[in-house]
A and B are shown apart, each in its own frame.
Chain A
Amino acid sequence: MLKILTVCGAGVGSSMMLKVFAQQILSKENIEARVDATDIGSINPQDADIIITTTDFANLFRNTTCQVLPIDNLTDKENLRNQLLKCIEELQK
């Protein structure tokens, strides 16, 4: 199953919101995936197919093999939706 990690500094704020939004988007599209929120200190990029995080953290994952989605605006769910669905499509090619 597709594994998605949402990441932020403390693991209780933006990462949790990204998780909720990602789950909402995926369930609407009927895409099965496991979404977990975590903080930047405890993340293992190997655990994920896709990482969703804010731009400053996204730079830290430049060398990983998984897809990284940098999100600048947490109030813009449409942008997250577009990026996430595009990314999943790429992965399934």
Chain B
Amino acid sequence: MITDFIKEDHIRVGVHADTWQEAVQESGKVLLEANAIESRYIDAMINKVIELGSYIVIAPGIAMPHARPEDGAKKTAITLITLDQGVPFGHEKNDPVKLIVGLAAVDNKLHLEALAALMELLGNDEKLQGILESKTAKEVYDYL
């Protein structure tokens, strides 16, 4: 179930970020507040992109920053942040990013079904649009 890993307090709407680093940081902050990561995990999320490129932009307008379990993940959790305006991540086709799916994973199994279900949900244009236009975390949560 998606809601096993995304709780209502894992959701923020209309967050402002000027750069992709800030956007990833905001997403990391929510993981930190959820006690899912140590703070060094956030640096690892950013370094992965610097090191390997914008591959975390997994679909048009959607980025999924994450690091590896040993980078300081404490439990498996997923956070959702919508941005008040699109932020470029340097991706050829999928920029600008409006939705950040923050992922902390302690192994490579637990979160899979939830993520797969989330991808199918976000593949539905109507629902994605609804999530992006939501004014409150509760509204977003109701889509899940």
A14 touches B112 (CB 8 A): no
Q: Which residues of B contact A21 (CB under 8 A)?
A: 116, 119
Contact of A16 among B59, B112, B120, B128 (CB under 8 A): B112
A9 touches B116 (CB 8 A): no
Judge whether B137 is part of the interface by a CB distance below 8 angstroms. no
How near does chain B come to A49, taking the closest CB pair, in angstroms?
A: 22
A75 touches B66 (CB 8 A): no
B93 touches A75 (CB 8 A): no
Judge whether B88 is part of the interface by a CB distance below 8 angstroms. no
A12 touches B68 (CB 8 A): yes
| Interface size bracket, A side | 20 to 34
How near does chain A come to B40, taking the closest CB pair, in angstroms?
A: 15
Closest to B94 in A: A72
CA distance A56 to B93 in the complex (A): 11
Q: Give residues 1-23 of A contacting B (CB, 8 Å).
A: 8-14, 16-17, 20-21
How near does chain B come to A27, taking the closest CB pair, in angstroms?
A: 14
Q: Which residues of A contact B119 (CB under 8 A)?
A: 17, 21, 74-75, 77
Judge whether A82 is part of the interface by a CB distance below 8 angstroms. no
CA distance A57 to B57 in the complex (A): 13
CA distance A53 to B89 in the complex (A): 18
> Given A12-B108, A16-B112, are A56 and B66 also a contact pair (CB < 8 Å)?
no
List 21 A–B pairs whose Cβ atoms lie within 8 Å, in order of A's numbering.
Answer: A9-B48, A10-B66, A11-B68, A12-B68, A12-B69, A13-B58, A13-B64, A14-B56, A14-B58, A16-B108, A16-B112, A17-B58, A17-B112, A55-B93, A56-B54, A72-B59, A72-B93, A74-B59, A75-B119, A75-B120, A77-B120
